[in-house]
Structure 1
Amino acid sequence: MNPFGNLEKVFKRTDSKFGEYRLVNIWYIEAPLETVCDAIYHSLSWPQWWLNVVEVKEIASGDAQGIGSVRRYTWRGYFPYRFTFDICVIHFAPLAFIVGTASGDVEGQGRWSFTTDGNVTTVRFEWQVRTTPVWMNWLAPFARPFFKWNHNAVMQRGGEALAHMLKARLVNVVHS
């Protein structure tokens, strides 16, 4: 007999609010829009410059613009766990945005968008996902601030690494 009764079902449900996150990170980089967009678009090379990206594998190539392409990402943060999820590109506008759906350790949607103001390119990443590992959903009511901090720390490092790789200045980073 299960001593937790229906509680286990609540935490395993994919529509549970416990593991839902909406995260926004913004990088302001003194670099040309085209160069920044190219670095983000070509995510197969992220492990070369972004230390938190363990591996990126192409699963499916998609059409000429990459719509329908699927890549598997493995990430490590500052806590002793890794995330692996697939991203399928569903919308793409050159020099404007990339939108993908996630499946795996997280499910939901991510969006990179790009704008420029003078010599500063703004990179905005929006992540609206829910975690799927049962242990994370069990801990989410208590560990949410730590999970969010970990995500923001990974994104901070990503902005710094991108600027370094482009030999550019990271003007500012905003997390919300």
Structure 2
Amino acid sequence: MKYHIVTIWLLEAPIEVVYETISQSMNWPQWWGNVKQVENLESGDANGIGNIRRYTWQGFLPYQLRFDICVTRLEPLIFIEGIASGDLEGIGCWSFSYDKNITVVNYTWHVHTTSFWMNLLELFAYPLIKWNHNLVMRKGGEALAQKLNARLVCVTHRT
């Protein structure tokens, strides 16, 4: 099953702090409860291109997802893009902008699941899986705001 999901967080926080916190994904398990583990597999070049990390996620449904992200494009304070492989395959991109004391964080996820059981489950539970993803992302925005002692103004999702 293919997914195209966009999550947007609006935070009252400086873009530099928001970008730095998101770009340091090794630290996500410390503040984002749904991220169970992040392992550094490859460091990449001096700019972070080619960096590969393995992420283990636990949403609100009784399964975990494990996938690797290889950073393919990165422009500090503007975007981080990577290719996913593992339980999910595709492309994810964080983009950042700032306007009137609000940092806009846009996460776009173009992926498909790879395991037989997940593809079978999706035939029956697609809305539940989208709900799970959206809740994980909402909790991430709330956790980021709490970590930064900032206000999360809004969270929106588009599919």
- TM-score under structure 1 normalisation? 0.89
What are the within-5 Å matches in structure 2 for residues 64-75 of structure 1? 64-75=46-57
Q: Which residue of 2 aligns with 1:110?
A: 92
Rounded Cα–Cα distance in structure 2 between residues aligned with 1:76 and 1:65: 30
The structure whose residues are more often strand, as a share, is 2
Q: Which residue of 2 aligns with 1:10?
A: none
* Residue 142 (str. 1) matches residue 147 (str. 2): no
Secondary structure of the equivalent of 2:131? helix
Q: Which residue of 1 aligns with 2:79?
A: 97
The equivalent position to 1:46 in structure 2, one of 25, 28, 36, is 28
1:74-115 superposed Cα distances (whole Å, 9 cap, x missing partner) = 000000100000000000001000000000000000000000
Rounded Cα–Cα distance in structure 2 between residues aligned with 1:71 and 1:171: 30
Q: CA deviation at 1:134?
A: 0.6
Secondary structure of the equivalent of 1:91? strand
1:149-172 superposed Cα distances (whole Å, 9 cap, x missing partner) = 000000000000000000000000
Secondary structure of the equivalent of 1:65? coil
CA RMSD of aligned residues (A): 0.5
Q: CA deviation at 1:65?
A: 1.1
Rounded Cα–Cα distance in structure 1 between residues aligned with 2:60 and 2:87: 17
Greater Rg by CA? 1
Query: Which amino acid is the alignment partner of residue 87 of structure 1?
Result: I
- TM-score under structure 2 normalisation? 0.98
* Residue 55 (str. 1) matches residue 37 (str. 2): yes
Rounded Cα–Cα distance in structure 1 between residues aligned with 2:64 and 2:115: 11
Query: Which amino acid is the alignment partner of residue 41 of structure 1?
Result: S
Secondary structure of the equivalent of 1:80? coil
Structure 1's consecutive aligned runs of 4 or more residues displaced over 4 angstroms after TM superposition are none
Unaligned runs of 5+ in 2: none
* Number of matched pairs: 158
Unaligned runs of 5+ in 1: 1-18
